[in-house]
Each structure stands twice: as structure tokens, then as C-alpha cells.
Amino acid sequence: MSGIVTQSLESLRGVGPKMAERLQRYGISNVEDLLFHLPLRYQDRTQVTPIGALQDGAEVVIEGDVALVSVSGGGRRRSLIVKLQDGTGTATLRFFHFSQAQKNALQQGDRLRCFGTVRRGAQQAEMIHPEYRRSIHISDNEESLTPIYPSTEGVSQGQWRKLSDQALSVLAKHPPEELLPVRENDYGLSSALRFLHRPPPEADQQALRDGRHPAQLRLALEELTAHQLSMREMRARSRERAAPVLRDSKALSQHFLKALPFEPTAAQLRVMEEITADLATEKPMLRLVQGDVGSGKTVVAAAAALIAIASGYQVAVMAPTELLAEQHRRNFAGWFSPLNISQMWLAGSVKGQKREQALAAIESGEASLVIGTHALFQDGVEFAHLGLVIVDEQHRFGVHQRLALSEKTGGAWRAHQLIMTATPIPRTLSMVAYADLDCSIIDELPPGRQPVGTVLIDNQRRQEIIERVAIACREGRQVYWVCTLIEDSDTLQAQAAESSFAELAEALDGIAVAMVHGRMKAKEKDAVMSAFKAGHYQLLVATTVIEVGVDVPNATLMIIENPERLGLAQLHQLRGRVGRGSAASHCVLLYQSPLGQQSRARLQVMRESNDGFYIAEEDLRQRGPGEVLGTRQTGLMEFRVARLPEHEHLLEEVQEIAEALQQEHPQWVQALIRRWAGDRQAFANV
């Protein structure tokens, strides 16, 4: 293997134990890792821009003579002002933090070279806190674009540059092995790395910013291939052990379907068939069911659960929040009690004796169906004979969590896995994020559903909207009023909800208003939701806790305050809480003006479309995969170079290369995964 991997960081100048420890925090533990720590962006310090030609917002080098040094303002607002002239114009350098020594060192007539961001005022261009130094030689321009490395703390840009300089010389001496087929004229691994760390001045900067430079594409191709291989290995690993063959000997699912007050849609039936076929083999099922909000995934999950239960196995149903898990509990209890199926509930809030009892029932096998949150795969939970795991809202769980649960079966077998997501995942993403899964799509809504009419209304017309809420409530309909906040703080969200609640309760005399937010205990939330569902309240003021799964068919109007703060996928989820019955439903996006152009364009998408897949594609385009999948926390999609959807066009080739590598060079597979995985969660195999 290459010498780079084995070369330790401490062989580099400037790296002692302290620096090594800091680099470790970036997942860098050898020279090769350092090479894969690629610049985020570049600055062009290769040319000096005439002051007269400065454009607002540009990051540039300027050079000129000091015409004036002065201090303006007083007290905490004191700032050091330096006027710089170069014959084409005058620029102001402004320093809010400065020392007397710094001021004294600057003299009229000094020649300075500065780098900074231009702010074009009415009269003069200004740079706030530019980097500057005295220029001694006329042409001491940089030879390459200046890389800016991802850095949060402990390592300065200067240090990153010194480190990468050294790593690049190691690279020149010990080029790493090429693990991907290289075509003529293409970048190889080494040349691509060299280019991206130190692009020449003439490099296409726009292409670099967009991630479509051939050097980036070369690395992205390799990274995506490594990821693909790790997903394939994951899949192979999760199929090393057999799963139980599950057949619906008691025809329970048929009884269940017949007892439903509606006919399943053709799409539901098709997906049920796909699942039934999977369960009947000993190859562990790994199936993702995607279906828009309200497409009826729960019924499909229930039918699958009955097949497992009929064959004598336990089923675990796991949801990301207690609220959603509780709703499943209620649904399943309603459907399964007539079939005499014993059900157990396990969530974080289940404590003490209750928890002991639940654990005992799960371990003895007395509980056929276990519903809960991630508390289900914590230590201490032992199943007697788990055959099927159903996970709702997959994207909130990591690959590892899923695997952990499917292994806790109580025997030597692996459980089948059914994963459901209401956030339609763009095809691009599912190819990458869920390469280890088979996909089923419920692409049909139950009959009679009408698309939710969506309007954008300025918050200045709030009174009108409150009137509209009153009218809907008096007509016997129910209404959601959703408060949003950017901060992911339950406390602040709760405050926002409380103030809207107070306002609405006062304005809407005679209308029963309730509130749910994340600071309430699960029991309280449950009580409020049940009461709302039962029609005891007409208006529910809520935070985004109601996002997933809540089902109240009589609710026909939803107001979303400050929708501009949310992503499209989340808005679509929220909106899916209405339009669940047969009456026409509406959603009012009550935005705060002024609305930026981008926000307006985003909200327009909501107005134009009710199609979750289309909305998800738009969301991906606008916000990137981390946000769309909600996996920023789990790091699922944190690639170093690859970007989606920008690199979507590489995916086909990625599949081919992965295939070929497995066939022809299986010995390279691990090396490739190791090279790219580092200690990141994006890769399943770490």
C-alpha cells in the first residue's frame, strides 16, 4: 500500500502531540487523511485589483500607499482608519480592534498590500479588518489560488496551508495507489488532489465553486464508489444470517383488511404483495416503503406485522417521536385487539415498574407486538423471537441503529426490516443513502382526497386570517395553527406557541383552543391530541411537533406562521395534516414580509404542488441532502467531495465501477472504503 497512509502526522514539521490531537478532531490521523481534508473554497490573491475597479462584495488583493492614518469615534466605537491610494482611487481600511503599536507602525507613505472583502460605500470602497502587510517587492504575488480549509478551531488557515504543503510533497514522493480505472487525460487521484489543494491562477473558479471541475469530479467519483461499496458490503453483511420464513398461516391479514372501513388502494395492495413475497423467504427483507403523507402506509405496515405474528414471531414498531409512536399504538390497538393480539408499549417515558413489566413481556414473548421509540433498542430490551422490525420515518435513524435492532432477535436469526418514510426521497438520494434497501412506492392516495389549496398571505393580513379560522370553526371544522422558529429549542418554540395561543384564545371568543408543544410531557400532549381528535377542541395551536403522522380527518384548515423558516419537505409534512378527509382543505402560509426572492420562490413551490416527490426534488435542489434527509446529526450524507444532486450524473458510472471492482479487484474494495470512510458515519463499514 501507499506510504502515505502509514506516514504519521508527527513526521511533519509543526505537528507535535498537541497539534496531532487537534487534527484528530477533524478525523485526521495520518498524512493521507490530511490530503483528503480539501479546501472549502479559494481566494484569488494572485492578482492585485486597482482600487478604482473594486466591486462590492469581492474578495481581492489591493496595493497602495498610505495617505492618512486616523482614529475616529470614541469609547467602544473607536476605530482605526487608514486611507490607501494607488493612483486609480482611494480605499478606506477600517479596524475596530487595534493596538496603539499597530497604529504607530503605520505611517503616511507606507506601501501596503491588503486582502479583504470590499464594501462599496457611496463614495469609497472600504475593507473591514483586512489582512495587510508592507509590500517590499513589487511582484510578490501568490502562485496559486489560496485555499481556505474547513476549520472551526485550533488550526489556523496558515497552519492548514503549511500542513497541506508538506502533505503534498509526501504525495509527490509516494503517490497513493490508483484504485479506480484512469482514462487518458483524466485526473488521477494524485493529480486531482494536487490540483484541488493548489489550483493554478487560471483555474476555472466558477466550476470549482459549483463542484463541477474535472478534478472534483474525479474525486467525487471515487468517493461515491467507495460509499457504494460500503453500502453493498453492509447489505451483504446484514444478509449473512438468515431470517425466519414468515407466512400468514392464519390469514390474519386478510381478516384485518376485510374489517377495515375502506378498500385498500391498488398501490397499497401492490406494496403489501411485495412485502409478503419478501417475508416468505429466508433472505432478510430490507425494504423501504415510500409514500406521500396520507398515502396509508400504516395499514401496509399492519398487514406485514400480522404475517409475522401469524407465524409466531414478534414484531417491533419503532417511531422517532413518542407522539407518533403513540398514534401507532392507538391505531394498532384498534385494529389488533379484535384479533386478540397482545401489544406492549415501550418509550423513554415508561419507567419503573411499568418498564419492568414491559421488558418481561417482551422477553417472555408474551407481547406479540411491541411499539415504541428508540427506547426499543436500548440495553436491557431482549426479545424472545423477533421476526420483523418496522421503522417509521426511517431518515431519523442511522443505518447502525437499524442494524442493531434487527440483530436483537433472541436467536441466531436476523429480523426482516420494513422501513417507512413519508418524506419522499428523491431518486438520486435514495440510490446513495439507501443503496442497501429495496424500494416500494405507494404512489396513489386513497380516493376522494382533494389536494390542499395553498395560499401565501402576508402576516399584515393576520386579522383576516383569524376571521377565517373563526368561520371554519363555526362550520364545525377543525383548524391547526402552527408556530415555527428557526432555533431548535423546545423552550423558545413553546414560548412562540404560548403567545399565539394567548392571542388566538382571546380573539376567538367561544371557540375551544388547545395547545401542544415539545415542552409538554408526553402524557399531556397525548391528552390534548386525543381531545382534539375527538373534537373537544376546534383550534389546535402547535409547534412543529405535530409534523409527523398526526391524523385528524376533520381538520381542514392549517395556518403556518413564518413558513419561510422551514424547509419544503417539512412544510409538506405539516400540510399533510389537513386534507385527510373528504372535505376540501386549505393551508395558509402566513409569511413575515419582506420575503426574500429565494424564500418566495420556495413557498411558490408549495402553492403550485401537492406532490411530495416533486417538492422533495425541489427541496434537494435548494437546500442540499443533509437538510432534506434530516441527517445532519447522523452525518449520513457528509461527503468530503461529492455533492448531491450536482454529482447525480456520476451515479450510473459509480454502480458500474463498484460492480467491476467487486468482480475483478475484490482486494481493492476494502482499501477504497478505508481511504474514504475515515471515521465518518457516512460509511456503513466503520
Please, which residues bridge with residue 346 across strands? 372
In degrees rounded to 5, what are phi and psi of residue 154? 85, -25
Using CB under 6 A as the binding rule, whether residue 295 contacts ligand ADP is answered as yes
396 binds ligand ADP (CB under 6 A): no
CA angle 155, 157, 161 (to 5 degrees): 105
Percent helix, percent strand, percent coil in the chain, to nearest 5: 45, 20, 40
Cβ(224)–Cβ(650) below 8 Å: yes
Q: Output the smallest distance, CB 480 to ligand ADP, in A.
A: 15
Q: How far is the CB of 399 from ligand ADP (least distance, A)?
A: 22
Residue 422 engages ligand ADP in binding (rule: CB under 6 A): yes
Which of ligand ADP, Mg ion, none has residue 296 at its interface (CB below 5 to 8 Å by kind)? Answer: ligand ADP
| By CB under 6 A, residue 279 contacts ligand ADP | no
Question: Binding marks (x or -) toward ligand ADP, 92..111, rule CB under 6 A?
Answer: --------------------
DSSP state of 11: G
Contact 113, 135 (CB under 8 A): yes
Q: Does 323 bind ligand ADP (CB under 6 A)?
A: no
DSSP assignment letter at 188: -
303 near 272, Cβ under 8 Å? yes
Q: Which residues have a Cβ under 8 Å from the Cβ of 346 and sit 6 or more positions away?
A: 355, 358, 359, 362, 370, 371, 372, 373, 375, 376, 381
Report the nearest approach of ligand ADP to the CB of residue 299 (Å): 5
Interaction pattern, residues 480-519, with ligand ADP; x per rule: CB under 6 A: ----------------------------------------
Question: Contact between 296 and ligand ADP (CB under 6 A)?
Answer: yes
Q: How far apart are CA 191 and CA 35, in angstroms?
A: 12
Kindly state whether residue 446 participates in binding ligand ADP, applying the rule CB under 6 A.
Answer: yes
Identity of the residue, 130 or 549, whose beta carbon is nearer to Mg ion in the bound complex: 549
30, three cell numbers: 495520518
Beta bridge mates, 59: 117
Q: Is 441 in the site for ligand ADP (CB under 6 A)?
A: no
265 binds ligand ADP (CB under 6 A): yes
Q: How many distinct helices (H) and strands (E) make up the chain?
A: 24, 21
What distance, in Å, lies between the first and last C-alpha atoms of the chain? 19
Look at residues 27, 1, 38, 28 and name the one whose alpha carbon lies nearest to residue 220. 38
| Region of 228-236, 362-370, 543-551, 603-611 interacting with Mg ion (CB under 5 A) | 543-551
Which residue from 449, 671, 493, 451 is spatially nearest to 581, judged by alpha carbons? 449
Residue 613 interacts with ligand ADP (CB under 6 A)?
A: no
548-567 positions binding Mg ion, by CB under 5 A: 549
The interface region with Mg ion, picked from 334-342, 541-549, 603-611, 678-686 by CB under 5 A, is 541-549
Give the residue nearest to Mg ion (CB). 549
Region from 30-38, 263-271, 601-609, 639-647 binding ligand ADP, contact rule CB under 6 A: 263-271
Query: For residue 411, what are the CA distances in angstroms to 243, 386, 414, 432, 496?
Result: 10, 8, 8, 31, 49
Nearer to ligand ADP, 555 or 669 (CB): 555
Minimum distance from CB of 298 to Mg ion (Å)? 5
**Residues β-bridged to residue 389:** 316, 417
* Stretch near ligand ADP under the rule CB under 6 A, chosen from 206-214, 291-299, 485-493, 658-666: 291-299
* In the complex, minimum distance from the CB of residue 445 to ligand ADP, in angstroms, rounded to a whole number: 8
- CA–CA dist 414, 426 (Å, integer): 29
Residue 446 beta carbon to ligand ADP: minimum distance, rounded to whole angstroms:
3
Interface with ligand ADP (CB under 6 A), residue total 18
List residues bridging with 288 in a β-sheet: 419, 439
Task: Pick one of Mg ion, ligand ADP, none as the site partner of residue 262 (Cβ within 5 to 8 A by kind).
Answer: ligand ADP
Is 116 an interacting residue with respect to Mg ion (CB under 5 A)?
no
Q: Which of 551, 627, 646, 648 binds ligand ADP (CB under 6 A)?
A: 551
Asked if 262 is part of the footprint of ligand ADP (rule: CB under 6 A), the reply reads: yes
Q: Tell me the closest approach of the beta carbon of residue 536 to ligand ADP, in angstroms.
A: 19
Q: Does residue 294 belong to the site contacting ligand ADP (CB under 6 A)?
A: yes
DSSP state for residue 312 in the 8-state scheme: T
Residue pointed to by grid coordinates 437546500: 623
Alpha carbons within 13 angstroms on the beta-carbon side of residue 686 total 18
d(CA 209, CA 198): 14
| Gap between the Cα atoms of 357 and 149, Å rounded | 54
User: Does position 216 bind ligand ADP by CB under 6 A?
Assistant: no
Least distance CB 173 / ligand ADP (angstroms)? 58
Scanning residues 557 to 586, which ones bind ligand ADP (CB under 6 A)?
580
Q: Considering the rule CB under 6 A, would residue 293 count as an interface residue with ligand ADP?
A: yes
Question: 45 CB contacts (<8 Å, ≥6 apart)?
Answer: 61, 115, 141, 142, 145, 146
Task: Please give the Cα distance from 226 to 4 (Å, whole number).
Answer: 18
The DSSP symbol for 50 reads P
Smallest separation (angstroms) from Mg ion to the CB of 327: 8
Cβ 36 vs Cβ 222: under 8 Å: no
Of 301 and 684, the one with the shorter C-beta distance to ligand ADP is 301
Among 244, 291, 426, 612, binds ligand ADP (CB under 6 A): 291
* Residues lying near Mg ion in the complex (CB under 5 A): 549
Binding site for ligand ADP (CB under 6 A): 262-265, 268, 291, 293-299, 422, 446, 549, 551, 580
